[in-house]
Structure 1
Amino acid sequence: MKRNRFIYTLLAIVLGMLIGSIILLISGTNPIEAYKVIFVGAFGKPKYISWTIVKAVPLILTGLSVAFAFNTGLFNIGAEGQYIVGSVGALLVGLLVDLPPVIHGIVALAAGMFFGYLWGAFVGLLKAKFDVNEVISSIMMNWIGFYFSNFLLSFPIIRNIESDNSYPIKSSADIRILGQWKTSEAGKEFLMNNRFLRDILNPPVNWGIIIAIIAAIIIWYILKKTTLGYELRSVGFNPKAAEYGGISINKSIMASMGIAGALSGLAGAITVLGVSGNIGMMAAQEGYGFDGMAVALIAGNNPIGTIPAAILYAGLSYGGGKLTTIGTYSEVVDIIVGIMILFIAIPKLLDIIRFFFAKWFKKDEKDVEGGQYE
């Protein structure tokens, strides 16, 4: 089953790129040149690799959030709202609280996770107590979270009156790698004389990639190796059998959505503390929660699989932005990703394609063995 899922994913990626090639040809662009621009634009220089990793971090966590909920039989369409309130929680602690360095960043990350947990657990509560479909409620919670963040930005203590953003977080809450050192005179001088490190560290590289990888491993371990994971998966597979076995369905639903919300909230917190800290939080949706659904699908809802899936998605998005340099549209990348997801969502079609090719190659082998091509 796992092998089939891996084959489906590879086929979906190949088919997405093939159909994308046709679209590029129709638009008058050489597909080989276009894919070269995307690849080089995402991984061709140390600076590009850093930016791809920076953009992949929230995608890993929101993809992990969606995948975790799906593994427990729930559809978390509210990752965007959880991401937003996680950003709010991290901003409030990072901006309004005074704590020592390192501790400040950890507390702000925890606040983001806690806000996301509450947002997700509320959806679970509606599902458990009132049988409200989690798809509908989580979609609504996305908009509530978005307008809640905009409402907070109307307060003078939070909003920078000279822009549409909040005030920057305090430097003690910054989780960028060597963030303060890079802005010091010694750091600037050192980086000026070391181009390689300058290219790597100039983007807002932060500890988020380490946190995201650890989170993926922990979620995999919870789902596969712990009693909690067994209970959550049991409720997802067969609620009646799980209840008969003594598992509390309501508690499991709330726990599952709460953990999913905490993961998306962590993604929002990392973005505020490690990427946009110098400009605070913006009054806009960034779409990482929605993109996380695509990442989860590409990963086959495998927690560890969200890491390469997010890097692929981030690479396509970041490198695809450079397609304008050859006179084509960066939206082609969205079409390619959409086609990949479409094929992943219809594995039966991929089964037919795989069966056709297997039969064709088998026929060729028989013809060769029979001496037809001698």
Structure 2
Amino acid sequence: MVGLEQNWLDVAVVVGGAIVLAWAIRLGSRYYLGQERTETSFGQAAFEEVHTPLSISIVLVGIGSGLLTLGLSDAPPVIPELIASVLVVLWARAAIRIGRRWIALLQNGETSYEFAPMFENLWTLTVSLGAVLLLVSIWDLELTPFLASAGIAGIVLGFAAQDAIGNLIGGVALYFDNTYKIGDVIHVEDDMRGTVTDVGIRSTTVLTEDNVLVTVPNAVLNSTEVVNESAPQRHMRLRIPISAAYGTDHELVEELVLEVCEECSLVRERPSPKLLFLEFGDSALEFELRVYVNHPLVEKRAIDQVNRGVYEAFDEAGITIPFPQRELSFLEDDDPREFQFSERPGDESGGADGANDSSESASSSSGGRADSSDRDEDAGSRATAADDET
């Protein structure tokens, strides 16, 4: 009886000491984390994620030690495994969060690491897989039946998850090709344009110009044409067509257009704007203005500013902006014009022969008309005789 009371006293001391230690760690953590700092270090970020699992682990270890002291660890065999499982889940979650905080600190620094999103996903996958293996080992699960059918299950999963596997491989390929990174403006083949907000193992998230989030599978991006408008530099060149009527001084056009570019807030001063005289068009002098903007997404606003300024400057200077025109002419039916034909000089014989031929043709025509009249009279006589007989 005395021994049992002593054991319970030892359990109370162990569990109580564990609770007190956990409480002390919580107080110390609050004091340490409550201090004001100009910037968050990796040690502070890691301690923010560790102090809670550490306190819980101390309490659980104290409870487990108390069970061992009472000799009850063999009676309910589920309790030690349950405690170990809780510890694995707690520290796996803490490890994942520490990795994410570390990557976030790296991204917020002066240097941008393009591998950070991919490494974050791989770290999460690795820690989760390790936690699952530890749980299998703790509960001593028998995997032989599962391994026996692994071949058939692998084939079935291969067909069922071929899209997911393709997206995974596509994401790895995009990472090693350095196609884009978070913050870049990309233009996909199907006229989708936007800013990359997240790069995952399976897909990439793009925020379009209409403020709509689009999730694109990595396999699609890996097999189609992707234009990165933010590489190799963030600023982008625009080509704006400008036309002026024939007779306009091209030097005046250049002066006015460059003055408009100086007044546009979205146009960069360096590299400086340039106006090129491209060609003589069908109805206008064709120019092309080449300017640079700071970001690809301000392209349309910059073009709007330039076009408005050029239109107003041309209007004040009296420069006409031509447009295609077409003229149509119609001939009336009662045309009063007369056409006369004359003989060629020096061809009198030909003219006489032609006159004789014309006379013969006229005679033939007259004879033909006479014969026709005779035939009509004969037909009329036969018709009268037939009436008399009747």
Judge same fold: TM > 0.5, yes or no.
no
Task: Tell me the TM-score normalized by structure 2.
Answer: 0.23
Structure with larger RCO (C-alpha < 8 A, sep 6+): 1
Task: Tell me the TM-score normalized by structure 1.
Answer: 0.23
Please state which structure has a larger fraction of its residues in helix: 1
